[in-house]
């Protein structure tokens, strides 16, 4: 398994446990915190990539790049963080994108 695939799976698992918008990470009270903080329990897509990089040494930029490439194919040409933070975005859409990219990495 490639490092990026492993990173994508780990980032997706973080989002499954808790997703947020407008900050990389939040603590259990919902307050913003650093993505690499021990009290972080909710993550935006970008924050999940940062957390995975912090925990594993896997290149977080490479993980985010794969997700942004998939968004570009859908016509969204901005950062993964901007996509994550759109007012109409849902956790389910975030997880679906991540799963799509994970499947593509496996092929």
- Closest by CA to 35, choosing from 7, 61, 60, 54, is 54
Query: Using the 8-state DSSP alphabet, how is residue 32 labeled?
Result: E
Give per-residue pLDDT as tens, 86-102.
Answer: 999 999 999 999 999 99
**pLDDT (0 to 100) of residue 106:** 72
d(CA 57, CA 96): 25
Cβ contacts of 71 within 8 Å, gap of 6 or more: 77, 78, 80, 83, 97
What is the model's pTM? Answer: 0.94
**pLDDT (0 to 100) of residue 48:** 98
Contact 86, 93 (CB under 8 A): no
Structural domains in the chain (count) = 1
Range of the domain at 60: 3-106
Cβ contacts of 18 within 8 Å, gap of 6 or more: 26, 41, 42, 43
């Amino acid at each position: 398994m490639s490092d990026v695939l492993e990173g994508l799976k780990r980032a997706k698992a973080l989002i499954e446990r808790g997703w947020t918008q407008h900050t990389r990470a939040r603590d259990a009270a919902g307050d913003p915190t650093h993505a690499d903080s021990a009290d972080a329990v909710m993550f935006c897509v970008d924050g999940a990539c940062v957390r995975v990089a912090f925990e594993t040494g896997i290149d977080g930029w490479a993980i985010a790049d794969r997700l942004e490439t998939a968004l570009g194919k859908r016509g969204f040409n901005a950062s993964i963080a901007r996509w994550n933070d759109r007012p109409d975005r849902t956790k389910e859409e975030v997880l679906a994108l991540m799963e799509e990219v994970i499947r593509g990495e496996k092929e």
